[in-house]
Amino acid sequence: MKKGIVLMLMLVMVLSFTYAAGGQETQAASDKDVTEIVYWQYFYETKKTLMDELITIFEERNPDIKVVQQTFPYENYNTKVASSVPSGQGPNVINLFYGWLPLYIDSGYLQPLPESVFSNSRIEEEFFPLVEAAKFDGKYYALPTAVRSLALFWNKDLFKEAGLDPEVPPKTMDEMIAFAKKIAKQDKSGNYLQAGMTLELRGQMHHVLREVLTRQFGGTPYNEDATQVTYDSQAGYDALQWFTDLELKHKVGVPQYMTDDVTAFSAGKMGITIDGSFRLGNFNKLQDTLHYGVAELPEMNGVKSNFASFWANGITSTTEGKELEASIKFLEFLTSDEVMSMWLPAIGELPAKKALALKDEFKNHPTYGPFIRGLDYAQATKFIDENAQRMVWINAYDEVVLNGASVEQAVNKAAQEEQAVLDAYYATKK
């Protein structure tokens, strides 16, 4: 009897070890069947949190794919890419500002999207036309989940304090200046205690100068194919004059007030700012202390204009084989209607597909709506080097305000510097 029990126990132990070994082999085989890809984006808390959630959904539907998200500070992002992608140590799928695309493409960091999945006809039928800024030599290199436009944010408490109707934003540029003058406060030494409006060219206002004011004064910033600067004209002079007058004549604020416009507006120390839809997530966290409204950008001379932009996802040039197949699936997921619908309330960026964005629930929304309606008359600057092209306007402003140059001199110098950037790039394409 005892021998029987001992034999039975030995059999159980053998079967257990066999099962465990088999399970380990099965797990090992299963691990080999899983393709791991790496996704990079710069660190922005709400985006990272949502992407973690999206990756979980994607992996549940695609158990043979594992996505690893890695984020980096915005300031170090391009440096990290430059040191990692060429060696194949970087991401498979990367999120980048559309204005960086020419530099990434020329550096060999990206591969064209496969036309078998992302055909030009499909993209141009489904997405807003502004995504054509991601098209080079007839090929798309990246696609956005969401797009951005600009809108006016106003502080309702500061409007009321200044004797303005807190529910009525300015509808024209002249009204905006008049409202801002009532809100701005300075001490006896001329230091601002409260700014009327943003003058932050390091933020979104260089886009306003280029794509909004220049057009509202009757000009264009570039020729049709964006190879030639055209704002060295009366319209460009008028645009910079209008903008520098905000500080020099109207005294509604200064650049870098309280470090930047986002900080000042968040602190309730700025009456009006112009920013992108992505800022909604930040401002909504302050709803107990920051009471604000959102409106379309004011018009001038009967002209409406806006600037649109986007961060796009592309596939790195060193990605191939199973990693490429998995990356394509992940990019399809990130550009789906489902993800775009989740992105809007979580991040505040607008669906990149026309049919989805123009649904009444989005287009008529009190905060999303002004941005979406602004897409109807928005332009996406086809940047070659977004940072360099931003700096020419920052420098032009400083030339007038700090160095006493005429607006004509400052604009002409900016145009010459920016044209040199364009010429250097397009010379390589001939």
The DSSP code sequence of 106-128 is HTT-EEPPPTTTS-HHHHHHHB-
Q: Can you give the pLDDT at residue 94?
A: 96
Sequence-distant (6+) residues with CB within 8 A of 382 are: 133, 222, 226
Structure tokens at 350: 């607008």
Of residues 147, 169, 208, the one with CA closest to residue 393 = 208
Q: Can you give the pLDDT at residue 57?
A: 98
Q: Can you give the pLDDT at residue 30?
A: 55
pLDDT in tens, the chain (430 residues): 445 554 454 444 444 545 555 555 545 445 568 999 999 999 888 899 999 999 999 999 999 999 999 998 888 887 887 787 777 778 999 999 898 898 889 889 999 999 999 999 999 999 998 898 899 889 999 999 999 999 999 999 999 999 999 999 999 999 999 999 999 999 999 999 999 999 999 999 999 999 999 999 999 999 988 899 999 999 999 999 999 999 999 999 999 999 999 999 999 999 999 999 888 878 988 989 999 999 999 999 999 999 999 999 999 999 999 999 999 999 999 999 999 999 988 888 899 999 999 999 889 999 999 999 999 899 889 888 889 999 999 999 999 999 999 999 999 999 999 999 999 988 887 6
Q: Can you give the pLDDT at residue 6?
A: 47
Query: What topology does CATH give the domain 150-306+385-429?
Result: D-Maltodextrin-Binding Protein; domain 2 (3.40.190)
Tell if the pTM clears 0.85, that is, is over it. no
DSSP run (H or E) holding 180: helix 173-183
Residues 400, 394 contacting (CB under 8 angstroms)? no
Of residues 243, 249, 222, the one with CA closest to residue 233 = 222
Radius of gyration of the chain (CA): 26
CATH architecture for the domain at 35-148+309-379 = 3-Layer(aba) Sandwich (3.40)
DSSP state at residue 190 = S
Q: How far apart are the first and last CA of the chain?
A: 93
Spell out the domain ranges in the chain: 35-148+309-379, 150-306+385-429
Decide: helix, strand or coil at residue 191. Answer: coil
Q: Can you give the pLDDT at residue 430?
A: 67
Q: Can you give the pLDDT at residue 263?
A: 97
The DSSP code sequence of 335-375 is TSHHHHHHHHHHH-PEESBHHHHTSHHHHT-TTHHHHHHHG
Convert the pLDDT of each residue in 261-275 to its tens digit.
Answer: 999 999 999 999 999
